[in-house]
Amino acid sequence: MADIIIEGLCKRYGDKDVLRDFSLTLTEGRATCLMAPSGAGKTTLLRLLAGLESPDAGNVNGLEGLRLGVVFQEDRLLDWLDAVENIRLTAPERSGDYIVEELQRFGLGSIEGQPVRKLSGGMRRRVALLRALLAPADVLLLDEPFNGLDEATRAAVAKEALRLINGRTALLITHDPDEAGLMGAETVRPFLGSDG
């Protein structure tokens, strides 16, 4: 693996520039925190890196052939499945017992067997984060991964997330400076889009 180099990315929707000549290097094996206000293009950047959208200009080098683990702003869980089943969709090689142990570390020890539709928003968020972290991913893209968690839970979950990131390249997208500190991430505050 090597650094991921983002050069001159541009993305426009209609007459709105969401990303304009955006460049950033994600250092191999490090967590980078991208901080910018709402509407500055953070989620658009994640969608471009994940291959869900194409840029109007610019390029990304270093992602070729790598497996991505992604936490979107929405949890994107399958409501009728339980937490273990949701996680095994992206981590089929993980045993149910191992996943249950990790759920316990994330403060979710009492939820096995329950469909995720019955979980609170904070519980669902932790399942979504754990699903990405347990996937056999080379690079992690985490969009507001602690959204909806109270301060104590966020600190505990961040500690466990760091353990599971374990030297992988990670991009944490947030508008909260405390989250960057919890993750020990290098923080960059670029001007992303026309509203930034």
* CATH code for position 169: 3.40.50.300
Q: What's the confidence (pLDDT) of residue 178?
A: 81
11 lies in some domain: no
26 lies in some domain: no
58 lies in some domain: no
pTM for the model: 0.90
Residue 91 — pLDDT band, cuts 50, 70, 90? very high
Asked if 6 and 60 touch (Cβ cutoff 8 Å), the reply is yes
| pLDDT above 70: percentage of residues in the chain | 95
9 lies in some domain: no
24 lies in some domain: no
Residue 193 — pLDDT band, cuts 50, 70, 90? low
Q: Residue 92 belongs to what domain range?
A: 31-51+67-188
56 lies in some domain: no
Q: What's the confidence (pLDDT) of residue 163?
A: 94
Overall number of domains in the chain: 1
Digit-coded pLDDT (tens) for 120-139: 999 999 999 999 999 999 99
111 lies in some domain: yes
Q: What's the confidence (pLDDT) of residue 195?
A: 43
Cβ-based neighbours of 149, under 8 Å, separated by 6 or more: 122, 125, 126, 157
Query: Inter-axis angle of helices 83-90 and 121-134, to 10 degrees?
Result: 30
HEC readout, the chain? CCCEEEEEEEEEECCEEEEEEEEEEECCCCEEEEECCCCCCHHHHHHHHCCCCCCCEEEEECCCCCCEEEECCCCCCCCCCEHHHHHHHHCCCCCHHHHHHHHHHCCCCCCCCCEHHHCCHHHHHHHHHHHHHHCCCCEEEEECCCCCCCHHHHHHHHHHHHHHHCCCEEEEEECCHHHHHHHCCEEECCCCCCCC
The pLDDT of 99-126, averaged and rounded, is: 93
Alpha-carbon distance 149 to 158, whole Å?
Answer: 11
Structure tokens at 10: 């541009």
Residue 194 — pLDDT band, cuts 50, 70, 90? very low
182 lies in some domain: yes
